[in-house]
Amino acid sequence: MYKIVFYTSHRGDSPIDKFLDSLQIKVRAKVEKWMQKLQENGPTLPRPYSDTLRDKIRELRVSHGSLEIRLLYFFWNRTSIVMVHGFIKKKSEVSEQDIERAIRLMNDHITRYGG
């Protein structure tokens, strides 16, 4: 089983916590259920639950009614999943801006904690 870690900036801010706090309770419950599936299955969690975007960045794909929720993450140190960015998807593809943000946060995490 993998451990899920939320990215935290050097100031102590967590974009994932902030994003999850913005969701309605039922939506957040479904997201947490999918996060548990990811924790149990790791890199073998299949599409439509998860998909690879670019480099080491992957997406957890949660649909709830008309909402398409995405949590971007990467695997770290063979036992951890670091969640770096969350958003409600409005276009058919994840934007380059969201992927670049996730890569930037991933690189910051790796620089500060190794791996």
Residue 39 pLDDT more than 90? yes
pLDDT exceeding 70 applies to what percent of the chain?
A: 99
Q: Exposed e or buried b for every residue in 84-105, given b needs 16+ CB within 10 A?
A: bbbbebeeeebeeebbebbbeb
- Dihedral pair phi/psi, residue 97, rounded to 5°: -60, -45
pLDDT confidence of residue 22? 96
Would you state the pLDDT for residue 115? 67
> Percentage of the chain surpassing pLDDT 90?
93
Residues 36-55 have a mean pLDDT of: 95
pLDDT for 90-112, tens place per residue?
888 899 999 999 999 999 999 99
Mean confidence (pLDDT) of the chain: 95
Q: How far apart are CA 42 and CA 85, in angstroms?
A: 18
Taking the model in full, what pTM does it have?
Answer: 0.94
Q: How far apart are CA 72 and CA 65, in angstroms?
A: 20
Which residues have CB under 8 Å from 14's CB, separation 6+? 6, 7, 8
pLDDT at 91: 86
Q: Check whether 62 has a pLDDT greater than 90.
A: yes
- Domains identified in the chain and CATH numbers: 3-113 (3.30.2310.20)
